[in-house]
Structures are given as C-alpha cells and as structure tokens.
Amino acid sequence: MRVVSAALESGNPGALAGRTEIAGFRGGLQGERGMRVLVENGRMAMAVMTEAVDAVASGAVEEELAIECLNAVIDASLAALATGFVQAAVDVDDGGGLEAGPIPAGVDVEALDPQA
C-alpha cells in the first residue's frame, strides 16, 4: 500500500518498483506459499480501484485522469511484483523456491532481466 501511495504522490508509477520487485522475489523463493504475495497485491489493487471509482462517481475526486493514473501505478506495481517472481524462479536452487520451467512463447526474457 505504501508503494502505491508513494508512486501516486510522486507522479512516477515506477518510482518504487524496486521495493515491490523485492517482495515478489521473496514470495517466489517461498514457492507456492509465496503466491499469497500476488493474491494480496491483487486484492489490494481491486479494493483501491473500487474506492477510487466510487470517489470519482461521487464527485469527491475531480481529476480527469484519476482512474488512468491509478491504473498506471497498479500496473507498474504488479509488473514489478511479477518480475521479482520470475527472478526468483531463475535464481532458485534446491532451497524450496519455485522451479524454473520452460519459458512461454513470446516472453522477452531480456526485458525481464533487472540487470539489463
């Protein structure tokens, strides 16, 4: 929640992507138990968006692009989270994290590499 609010305040959706990516990485290292990180972030995104839509509909928020801005922040947050999961899957050893499987067709692995 802090990452999303800080990104909205800064006006830069990717400003704190690193913190979210680390959360995804930690979740990925936990294997299937770590999937809760994705679920919790998805629930948070839905709750925040529901409140934002209600605020715009009631007139409490008059910013013309409020929903679009929130969507950009949520998209950046979830993308960073997924990037962390992918990195954990690639880096995992026999320590109980996700096992790296075949890369789906069309996935640009180079674009997912945070070192690139």
Question: pLDDT tens track of the chain, all 116 residues?
Answer: 677 777 777 777 666 777 888 888 888 888 777 888 888 888 988 999 999 999 999 999 998 899 998 888 888 888 888 888 888 877 655 455 445 455 555 656 566 554 44
Note the pLDDT of residue 83: 87
pTM for this entry: 0.67
Tokens of 111: 């674009």
Residue type, 17: A
CA 66 to each of CA 15, 17, 52, 69, 76: distance values in angstroms, whole numbers, following the listed order: 18, 20, 8, 5, 16
